[in-house]
Each structure stands twice: as C-alpha cells, then as structure tokens.
Amino acid sequence: MHQQVPQAVPQVVYTNNPQFVSSPYPGQQIELPPSFLYTSQPPNGGQLEYFQPSQVSAQQQNIEAQLRSGSVQIPSHSSTPYLIPATSTHKKESVTIRVDDSTEMIRIQAQRIARLEERCDLLTRQYQRYVSALQYKEQEIQHWQERCNILQAHLETPYKRIEELQYEKNEVKRDQERISNVIRSGLEEFDALTALKQQKLADIKFWKERAKKAEKTQTIIMSLEHRIKMLQTENERLNQLIVKGSRYSPPIQAPVWQNN
C-alpha cells in the first residue's frame, strides 16, 4: 500500500511572479491558469497556508525524495494537482495527473462561476435598491418642486408690490430732483434779486442826495424870484414918482430870505 502525499503540504507557494507557483522540484515553476489568479479561495476550498522559505524547502526536499524512491503515488483524488514531478517514468500516473488537473480546473471554474453568480445576484439586488432609492429621490424632488412652485405663486403678490413700491420710490426720487432744480433756480433768482435790490437802494440814496440839493437850489431860486418881484415893484414906484414929480421917498426895505 502506497503512502499518500501529506495534506500539510502548502497548496500554493507564491513567488515573485504572481502567474507562477513553485514546484516541489528545484528549478521548476508551474504556471497557474488565469482563473486561479483571481480566486479568493484555494483549489481545495480551504485557507491558503503561508510558510517560511526554510519550511517550504524542507517540504519540497521531503516530497522529492519520496517521489524518486517510488514510495509515494499521487492518487486520482489528490487535492494538489500542481505538485507535478518534472519527469515521470509511469505514463499512467502522468495521464491520471493531467485528468486530475482538468477536473480540478473545472471544479475551480465552477466555484468561480458560483461566486460570480452570487456576486451578480448581490449586484442585482443592490441595483434594485439603487433604483428604488432613485425613484424615491425623484418623488422627493417632484414633491419639493411642487412646494417650490406653491411658494413662488405665493411670492408673486409680494414681488409685484415690491415692484410697485420700487416704481413709486423712483417717482419720488425724480420729484425730489425736480424740486431740487426748482429750489436751485429760485435761490439763483433770489440772489439776483438781492443784488438788484442793493443796486436800487444805492440808486435811491443817490437820488435822495440829488433831491436834497435840488430843494436847496429851489429855495434859492424862489428867494431870488421874490426879490426880483420886489425890485420890479420898487422900480415901477420910482418910475411913477418920476413921472408925477413928487418928492422922492426911500424904498421900503425888502425882507431878506435865508439862502441856506
């Protein structure tokens, strides 16, 4: 009876290149299928085991010695399809390993498809939730749009009143400007009339002085005219005396008028 490969051997030992895993034989690497690179579970459905380089090397040397001695055979149900010897003297075992590889790859692909279907269902449910949320948001937007329309309808009257008040305010400003212009014109006219008044007062003062001088001149003229009349009267009396030959009598002294 042949000894089976110990299950403690790691399923995958990662190298610097993520597309390859180490073989238990020195200098050999096994290329992983693309589907395996993106799976979150190992081929056997368990957890990936990580070992230190020294532990991996010891396990590889142990398995290599057992395989070369022929004391170990890989059964058809082996869960380590990638631990393939570099050379095999038994053709039947190589064919069995290749069949196991295909079976394991099919199982891996089936698991991956199942996970993708599960994820697709999850995304579908999430999409439905998003659609429901979007519909709710659209209803909410429509509700607030209706509220906004109602508020705008209520605000139309105040807006119209504000426009009327603004128009009245502009009219009052125009009236103020017109009144200011009238007041400015009135002040200018008042200043002109004040200047004319001063000029007229100066003219009145001048003519008053002229009138006073004219009154004095008139008084002198009247005094002279009265004296002329007195002299004419005296002259006539003298002429009469001369004509009658009467004795001459001195004339009556005429009143003297003040010429001031």
How far is Cα 224 from Cα 5, in angstroms, rounded to an integer?
176
How far is Cα 20 from Cα 37, in angstroms, rounded to an integer?
9
Residue 29 near residue 92 (C-beta atoms within 8 A): no
Digit-coded pLDDT (tens) for 167-218: 999 999 999 999 999 999 989 999 999 999 899 899 998 988 888 888 888 8
Residue 49 near residue 10 (C-beta atoms within 8 A): yes
Digit-coded pLDDT (tens) for 106-144: 888 888 888 998 899 899 999 999 999 999 999 999 999
Torsion angles phi and psi, residue 198, rounded to 5: -60, -40
Does the pTM surpass 0.75? The reply is no
How far is Cα 177 from Cα 44, in angstroms, rounded to an integer?
97
Share of the chain above pLDDT 70, in %: 55
Residue 9 near residue 2 (C-beta atoms within 8 A): no
